[in-house]
Amino acid sequence: MTPRSALNRTLLALAGLILLGGGLLILFAGFDVYRRHDLGPPAGWPLTAPDDVLLGSADRARWSGQGWWWWPAVIAALAIAALLALWWLLTQLSRRRPGALPVGGRPPLEGVELRDRALSDAIAAEAGALPEVRHAAVRITGRPARPRARVGLTLTPHGAPGATLGALCDGPLRTAHRSTGLPDMPTEVRLKVARHPPHRTE
């Protein structure tokens, strides 16, 4: 899990818990759960019965008497929150694949690019031909200037993970570095061993 995905999942979990908790508290008040089941509402929570409102007349009068700046401040805070939420949504929808990679190192060769799918297919084909590898899948992520590779290998039941990892680094990954001229391409490798076929006894 990358730091970005961990942060996204943490923010989504917190937002979900807050929305779930607020929704349950409102439902409890709407269905009069506190009175029917003799439960105590959270301290300071204004909605405890079906007829309660979030802001009473006294609260509205008190906040309205703070001065002319109060409502512009509330509107500005809501606008900032909406813009931050929109920015976060757009970053999630943005493409996480680099598309085209520069070739030739730094500075890259002008007008020469390599599609990320072509590079991932080439690495997967060479990795799939390694000894004791049954299947290989490669995905290129990140930015064009700093691509990252995610490699998934399925080994045969008798495959040696250490030897396979060394062959992957010395073979397909080194070839990818020479082909692109990139000085560094962080790679995440996940190894999985295929199950033994069932044995029959007669």
Closest C-alpha among 144, 73, 146, 155 to residue 115: 144
Query: CB of 193 within 8 A of CB of 157?
Result: yes
The strand pairing partners of 139, in sequence order, are 150
Number of C-beta neighbours around residue 83 at 10 A = 10
Q: d(Cα 190, Cα 168) in Å, to the nearest integer? A: 12
Q: d(Cα 110, Cα 114) in Å, to the nearest integer? A: 12
pLDDT band at 198 (very low <50, low <70, confident <90, very high): low
Average confidence score pLDDT of the chain: 81
SS3 187: strand
Strands (E), the chain: 100-102, 113-115, 133-142, 147-155, 187-193
Average pLDDT over residues 44-56: 77
Whether residue 7 is predicted with pLDDT greater than 90 in this model: the reply is no
Please tell me what DSSP assigns to residue 200.
Answer: -
pLDDT at position 65: 65
pLDDT at position 133: 92
Q: In the chain, how long is the greatest CA-to-CA distance?
A: 91
Query: CB of 117 within 8 A of CB of 155?
Result: no
Question: What sign does the dihedral 123-125-130-136 (CA atoms) show?
Answer: positive
SS3 83: helix
Token pair 């250490």 is at which residue? 162
Q: What is the pLDDT of residues 91-133, one digit of tens each?
A: 766 655 666 777 765 555 566 678 888 889 999 999 999 999 9
SS3 34: helix
pTM for the full predicted model: 0.50
